Amino acid sequence: MNKVITFGEVMLRLATPGFKRFGQSDTLSAVYGGGEANVAVSLANYGIPVSFVTRLPDNDIAKACIRELRGFGVDTGDILFGGERMGLYFLETGAVSRASKVIYDRAYSSIAQIRSGMIDWGNVLKGATWFHWTGITPAISQGAADVCLDGIKMANTKGILVSCDLNFRKNLWKYGKSAAEIMPDLVSGCDIVLGNEEDAEKTLGIKPLGIDVTSGKAESEAYRSVSQQIMKKFPRCKKVITTLRGSINANHNTWSGVLWDGKKLFKAPIYQVTHIVDRIGAGDSFMAGLIYGFLTYGQDSQKALNFAVAASCLKHTVYGDYNRVTVSEVEKLMKGDASGRVTR
């Protein structure tokens, strides 16, 4: 049975209700989330054995988070306890022409203070077939970057497939190193790379041409060259996947994706995502859908890509970081049923 390991930070998300601005609201709704944890929850929902690895403080808030992850079916047995605090982020949801806003409060979190050697990767990766990380983790601290690199190297040694979501977050790289300095060494150990136009440029120095996401369109052919550049720079990489988001406004996006396998560019259907409920975690739901697709459909890259795009399209309708949808719901959308009719 395939087993997936994800590594990164899970946080407490505090969001203003509805579309209120930070200065308007006297309440904040609290949910848990974080890139790699979001991927783990999606995979567990799809019936894939998955373990999430992180470092958390030994307190009631962190334990509540662990109970929630276990409730989804995620294995939390390799989570380390240590440090003083759990990371936070604050979310103000945008509307129409006003963009959403995220404020991080995760300095000196437990995982930010992790150090190489704290995780026994040889034991953690035992029996695993897939290891996933995102560019958010090495952005947290040098220690987190070092531990992530240790995990990648061990996975490479064991012949475990490694995937990465480049996930550039400019507000996180504050410990004296840039993404361009740290990320290439980590990406060199990856078999599958996911990103978008900004991720490729800011983390790997690879710039796509002819793209303007503010126009509401994202032309898939423009990504062929950037995928080829990534494969040339990182020979281990066998598949490059790009999410295509066209931002018409904060409530209306187009959503699709392309996959380059070194020979052919696969294109997914384009969805019109209107009346967005919550776009946070959409990229993570895409990655989880992709992993599920490859594990389930084998070498059928087109079907795997279509599943990933449909799954992440549905994520835009779900509040919170986690994509709480089932395989049957995703497959229904893949078949063209976007009616939203009541299921009785």
- Judge whether 312 and 292 are in contact, CB under 8 Å: no
Tokens 């977050």 belong to which residue?
Answer: 169
pLDDT number for residue 141: 96
pLDDT band at 279 (very low <50, low <70, confident <90, very high): confident
What pTM was estimated for this model as a whole? 0.92
pLDDT for residue 220 is more than 70? no
pLDDT number for residue 210: 59
pLDDT for residue 213 is more than 50? no
User: Which domains, ranges and CATH numbers included, belong to the chain?
Assistant: 4-334 (3.40.1190.20)
pLDDT for residue 218 is more than 70? no
Percent of the chain with pLDDT over 90: 72
pLDDT number for residue 146: 98
> Which element (helix H / strand E) includes 55?
strand 55-56
pLDDT for residue 283 is more than 50? yes
pLDDT for residue 344 is more than 60? no
* Per-residue model confidence as pLDDT tens digits over 32-85: 999 999 999 999 999 999 999 999 999 999 999 999 999 999 999 999 999 999
Output the DSSP codes for 145-189: HHHHHHHHHHHHHHT-EEEEE----TTT--SS--HHHHHHHHHTT
